[in-house]
Amino acid sequence: MNVLVVGSGGREHALAWKLSQSPKVQAVFVAPGNGGTALDPRLENINITDIQALRAWAALEKIALTVVGPEQPLAAGIVDEFRKHGLRVFGPTQAAAQLESSKAFSKAFMKRHGIPTADYETFTDAVAAHAYVDEKGAPIVVKADGLAAGKGVVVAMNLRDAHEAIDFMLSAGPDQNVLGVTHNQGADGVAMPRVVIEEFLQGEEASFIVMCDGKNVATMATSQDHKRLLDGDQGPNTGGMGAYSPAPVVTPEVHARAMREIILPTVKGMEKDGIPFTGFLYAGLMIDAQGKPKTLEFNCRMGDPETQPIMMRLKTDFYDVMMAATSGGLNGVELEWDRRPALGVVMAAHGYPLAPRKGDVVSGLPRLTDDPAVDVMVFHAGTTRQGQDTLTSGGRVLCVTALGSTVKGAQHRAYEAAQGITFDGAQMRKDIGHRAVKP
Ligand code: AMP
Ligand code: GLY
């Protein structure tokens, strides 16, 4: 069978790599892919990003299964388009993808279905928003409504920062994009800048990801991301600077609560609301000292970089799982995981996250192996091939991911491998996994 993975990040490289290991899969195409998927002889890049053109190509090539990595094509309706033409695709419809693409939608959904999350209000009017934060006090969290690649959130530790964030996020006119945020339409059909202001939650974060077929779920291994740019969780928010799996903060009790209080009510709620959820459902959890999980956000896709360590640990044939997930067959499906932890360290470009530089030559990349039992993998993200060279072409460039008998062991191997790879201005945190490694 031929399979298509949509996207160009480290997540898509890892998904394509895992799918290519299935004996049932002949070819894995990645659209548009990156320098790493171009290098791998089992993967082939397809330079099409337009959704309708990609659908036409997939039909022509008799693609048996399409897996969509990033949120943008999902929010743009790629799943609806593929399904309309009888193509098998794993991901949420445009309507269901609102769980991620609209914070206002997902917060209202959670309120309606009693799913634990921070208290909040939504505003289009700056005066009312300012009055609200004055009333609530700091710390408080201000979020732009719309897709902003993790950059539309300000955790304001004082009122001045909160007021500034409101002005910044609401200042853009209907046509402008602050932070690259796509404005959502309000009830009146007008796309307006909108902010969600919510209660500050304390605790430890974890990424809780499941696969849904509309009714049933299969859980992925747990993981933890590192969102801030710098060591010690300092500096600006990014898409994620490294991740490891499993996350010890998700104890069996926390896992059971997250399933019972968040995941299952969400899947049931979406079904009841007439927009059944298919695809990866990713709950960003904040787990308090008592082990109570609350939902920080939903994503309607796998996490990046969480996917990279998670895929390193997956033992089940991923193609089989995907076929079950796209035919309502996830009931009773349990995925098998390598008991060893995996940890991925992101190497980011000079200037990331604000203004990543492109065109730096990457050297020291290890040679590819097709051994599925490999315990160190360099997943590519913002890379491109030029002649014999690999050049940086985006913010997050590589995710060096390793298995180890302990988190510390995986951390050691990942950093050892990363040290051999260089490009000008490379940024890398030195403490990925710190919460799980005893000093
Ligand atoms: P989001 O994109 O909504 O997940 O927010 C990005 C990051 O901001 C999260 O991973 C948290 O670190 C932080 N954050 C978001 N909402 C809150 C909240 N209500 N309380 C504390 N931190 C938050
Ligand atoms: N790593 C966080 C995300 O994918 O949203």
Q: Which atom of ligand 1 is nearest to the CA of 103?
A: 3
Name which residue leads in pLDDT, 237 or 302. Answer: 302
Is the CB–ligand 2 distance for residue 145 below 6 Å?
no
Number of the ligand closest to the Cα of 106: 1
Checking if the pLDDT of 405 tops 70, the result is: yes
What confidence category does residue 144 fall into, taking pLDDT thresholds of 50, 70 and 90? confident
Q: What angle do CA 329, 333, 339 make, to 5 degrees?
A: 150
Q: For residue 426, give both structure tokens.
A: 């490379």
Q: What is the pLDDT of residue 373?
A: 77
Q: In angstroms, rounded to a whole number, what is the distance separating the alpha carbons of residues 409 and 21?
A: 25
Checking if the pLDDT of 323 tops 90, the result is: yes
Q: Which atom of ligand 2 is nearest to the CA of 301?
A: 4
Q: How far is CA 287 from the centre of its chain?
A: 19
pLDDT in tens, 81-128: 999 999 999 999 999 999 998 888 999 999 999 999 999 998 989 999
Is the CB–ligand 1 distance for residue 225 below 6 Å?
no
Is the CB–ligand 2 distance for residue 303 below 6 Å?
yes
Q: What is the pLDDT of residue 31?
A: 98
Q: In angstroms, rounded to a whole number, what is the distance separating the alpha carbons of residues 362 and 370?
A: 22
C-alpha 89 to ligand 2 mean position (Å): 21
pLDDT in tens, 290-299: 999 999 999 9
C-alpha 238 to ligand 2 mean position (Å): 9
Is the CB–ligand 1 distance for residue 399 below 6 Å?
no
What is the model's pTM? 0.93
Q: In angstroms, rounded to a whole number, what is the distance separating the alpha carbons of residues 388 and 430?
A: 30
Q: What is the pLDDT of residue 120?
A: 92
SS3 257: helix
Q: In terms of Cα–Cα distance, which of 226, 223, 395 is closest to 307?
A: 223
Task: Give the DSSP letter of residue 78.
Answer: H
pLDDT in tens, 26-45: 999 999 999 999 999 999 99
Q: What distances in angstroms separate CA 39 from CA 13, 15, 33, 343, one per listed residue?
A: 11, 15, 10, 23
Is the CB–ligand 1 distance for residue 235 below 6 Å?
no
Number of the ligand closest to the Cα of 201: 1
Is the CB–ligand 2 distance for residue 360 below 6 Å?
no
Q: What is the pLDDT of residue 147?
A: 56
Is the CB–ligand 1 distance for residue 79 below 6 Å?
no
Name the closest-CA residue to atom 5, ligand 1: 153
Mean pLDDT of the chain, nearest integer: 93
Checking if the pLDDT of 174 tops 70, the result is: no
